[in-house]
């Protein structure tokens, strides 16, 4: 298991989703123009990615815990930075989209594991400065992207069929 260095900017996390479909679906879509095929793929992928993003940020990251200690198996948000940084990368449309975060600690929360915290200075509540020695902190796995994707996966075919109907006018 890799050890991530806090603040290193290494190893952000994201997942890509592509619509491959069955052989029958691929043959069916070939009956239509490349524009319609691309439009169906693009609209389907955007809806799927949007649902994954929404679930990750609303269902799998619990908000409003304030200074309470972290929950053991659920990711809790104090400030909402991770939630606000979960985005959709559309650069590979209409082939695929990616949902994820550029924040390094997003991967640590998703997968769990050790983080190397470098030596740094802190100030106490009384205003005294002190040095915290470098150490390794191990975070438990508190996945938020994979469960969101697993929730949406059974609905992917229906989403794709909905967009085929909209673009072609054919009821399936």
Q: Give the containing element (helix H, strand E) for 37.
A: helix 34-58
Is pLDDT above 60 for 5? no
Is pLDDT above 70 for 50? yes
Higher pLDDT, 58 or 105: 58
Q: Which residues contact 67 (CB under 8 A, 6 or more apart)?
A: 78
**Phi and psi torsions of 139, nearest 5°:** -100, 140
Taking only the tens place, the pLDDT of each residue in 7-27 is 444 344 666 666 666 778 778
């Amino acid at each position: 298991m890799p050890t991530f260095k806090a603040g290193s900017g290494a190893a952000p996390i994201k997942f890509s989703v592509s619509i491959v479909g069955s052989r029958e679906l691929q043959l069916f879509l070939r009956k239509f123009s490349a524009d319609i095929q691309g439009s169906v793929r693009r609209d389907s992928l955007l809806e799927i990615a949007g649902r994954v993003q929404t679930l990750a940020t609303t269902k799998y990251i619990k908000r409003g815990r304030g200074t309470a200690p972290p929950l053991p198996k659920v990711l809790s948000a104090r400030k909402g930075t991770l939630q606000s940084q979960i985005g959709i990368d559309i650069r590979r449309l209409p082939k695929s989209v990616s949902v994820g975060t550029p924040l390094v600690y997003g991967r640590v929360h998703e997968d769990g594991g050790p983080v190397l915290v470098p030596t740094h200075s802190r100030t106490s509540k009384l205003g005294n400065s002190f040095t915290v020695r470098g150490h390794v902190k191990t975070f438990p796995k508190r996945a938020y992207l994979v469960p969101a994707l697993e929730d949406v996966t059974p609905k992917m075919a229906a989403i794709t069929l909905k967009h085929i109907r909209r673009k072609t006018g054919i009821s399936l």
